[in-house]
Amino acid sequence: MTPEEVQSILLEGLENAEVIVEGDGNHFQVTAISNQFEGLRAVPRQQIIYGIVGEHITSGVLHALGIKTYTEAEWQKAKKFQIG
């Protein structure tokens, strides 16, 4: 699986999102920006991501997934301070 394929899957499953995916085929780092995460703590945000890609993890196509999630406001703040 390519980073572009992971990105496409996540974009289909998230509302009005920006998704950045880096990785080497089995291990990926995902940065997802969506106001869908508003009011949610880290674990529920990660559960949303895992819910979208879960079948690919259980099938073994995806082995490891690092996840960072932001609302649009959080992302703007993170970019300002070059976090993420």
Domain of residue 35: give its range: 3-80
CATH number at residue 18: 3.30.300.90
Q: Tell me how far apart the alpha carbons of residues 61 and 74 are, in angstroms, rounded to a whole number.
A: 31
Instruction: State residue 79's pLDDT score.
Output: 86
pLDDT in tens, 47-61: 999 999 999 999 988
The DSSP call for residue 67 is E
Sequence-separated (6 or more) residues with CB below 8 Å from residue 70: 31, 32, 33, 37, 78, 84
Domain total in the chain:
1
Mean pLDDT, the chain cut into blocks of 10 residues (84 residues total):
95 97 91 98 98 94 93 93 68
Name the nearest CA neighbour of 30 among 16, 15, 20, 43: 20
